[in-house]
Amino acid sequence: MHHAAHHAKTHAETRVRERRHRVAHEAARLMATDGIRDFHTAKLKAASRLGIYDDASLPRNREIEDALREYQRLFAPDHDDGLRTRREAALRALDFFDAFSPRLVGPVLDGTADRHSPVHLHLHSDDADAVARFLEEHRIPAESRSRRLRLDRERAFDAPTWVFSAEELSFDLSVLPVSALRQAPLSSVDEKPMHRASAAQLRQLLAEAEISAYQLAANR
């Protein structure tokens, strides 16, 4: 009897795992093809399409992100070129906003950016209007928004955000207090401190990507 119960439990766990895998891959496909930016929205839409409604079968955001990388590798042959274009533009923006200790965050840094993805930067200043003045001085028309960021488990913060277009790309600048340089805000993907990169770190990332692309071509 005990053996039968164990077998049933194992079978149920396997089914849940398979369903999570299916939902993660469908959510990744929706994000890649429909331009859905939000993991939670993509997850619910995917589950609904597959007729899966139990919470245990909903994948974590990190699982969807992994599935999205896999999807892009398999079905988006020009993904690497688009990503490099965005990273090079991000590097120019990091240099341009150097006075604000800028950091690149989000899909362009994580490698899951597609043609819909803006270049997300975090700028740091304790003067709330400094970035707005800087944009005005350089005659960059930008739209003002606000983005809720979680500084840690207890504290949230409405970051002034500026959105503008340049080089046929969208740029999204959130302004954080200088103290946030010490610890990155929490990621909405996995609730851990966000990955972020300075200009020097992004330069290194671009150089490493170029070397690995060269090695890949040489081995073909």
Architecture in CATH of 79-219:
2-Layer Sandwich (3.30)
Contact between 120 and 172 (Cβ < 8 Å): yes
Mean pLDDT of 57-79: 78
Match 């970051």 to its residue by tokens: 159
Give pLDDT, residue 67.
Answer: 84
Tell me the per-residue pLDDT of 24-37, one tens digit each, with 9 for 90 and over: 888 888 888 787 87
- Using alpha carbons, list the distances in angstroms from residue 2 to 5, 16, 175: 5, 21, 59
**Residue ranges of the domains in the chain?**
2-75, 79-219
Sheet holding 169-176, edge to edge: 103-105, 119-124, 169-176, 156-166, 143-150
Mean pLDDT of 58-63: 86
Could you tell me the pLDDT band of residue 122, with boundaries at 50, 70 and 90? Answer: very high
Mean pLDDT for all residues in the chain = 86
Contact between 94 and 102 (Cβ < 8 Å): yes
Mean pLDDT of 147-158: 88
Tell me the per-residue pLDDT of 178-207, one tens digit each, with 9 for 90 and over: 999 998 999 877 788 999 999 999 999 899
